[in-house]
């Protein structure tokens, strides 16, 4: 089974960390990705550009022909935004959740099955 893990964090909190602490966190995240990739669990993923470079296209109501509206910024009205994602290949949802629980960077991790 394949799941996407989506990693959310508050960018302002992240940027407020002292540079040395932020660099240590990046190294820890790199080790986390490396460990799970070496185990064959993470099969894809990438860090995303900052939210300031994001555009969101809203189409309005489902199955209606509303005009699309483009706005700058994060996808939802929230302080947290998506920072990166990973695609994991595991035997069960419980295994995907266990991997998400081991995420070292704080914030939130959404676990969602891929529709295959």
> In angstroms, rounded to a whole number, what is the distance separating the alpha carbons of residues 75 and 58?
9
Q: State percent of the chain over pLDDT 90.
A: 53
Q: Indicate whether 38 pLDDT > 70.
A: yes
- Summarised one tens digit per residue, pLDDT across range 53-96 is 877 777 777 777 777 777 665 555 566 788 899 999 999 999 99
pLDDT of residue 73: 59
Q: Where are the alpha helices (DSSP H) in 10-107?
A: 11-16, 19-38, 93-101
Average pLDDT, the chain: 87
Confidence of residue 37 (pLDDT cuts 50, 70, 90): very high
Q: Indicate whether 8 pLDDT > 60.
A: yes
Instruction: Indicate the length of the chain as a whole number.
Output: 116
87 φ, ψ (degrees, to nearest 5): -105, 125
Segments making up each domain of the chain, as ranges: 2-113
Whole-prediction pTM value? 0.81
- The domain covering 2-113 belongs, at the CATH homologous superfamily level, to Dimeric alpha+beta barrel (3.30.70.1060)
């Amino acid at each position: 089974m394949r799941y996407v893990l989506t990693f959310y964090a508050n960018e302002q909190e992240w940027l407020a960390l002292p540079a040395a602490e932020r660099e240590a966190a990046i190294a820890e995240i790199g080790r986390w990705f490396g460990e799970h990739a070496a185990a064959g669990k993470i099969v894809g993923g990438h860090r995303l550009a900052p939210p300031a470079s994001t555009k969101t296209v809203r189409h309005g109501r489902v199955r209606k022909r509303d005009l699309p509206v483009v706005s700058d910024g994060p996808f939802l009205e929230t302080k947290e935004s998506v920072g990166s994602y990973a695609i994991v290949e595991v035997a069960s949802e419980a295994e995907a959740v266990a991997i998400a629980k081991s995420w070292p960077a704080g914030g939130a991790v959404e676990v969602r099955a891929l529709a295959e």
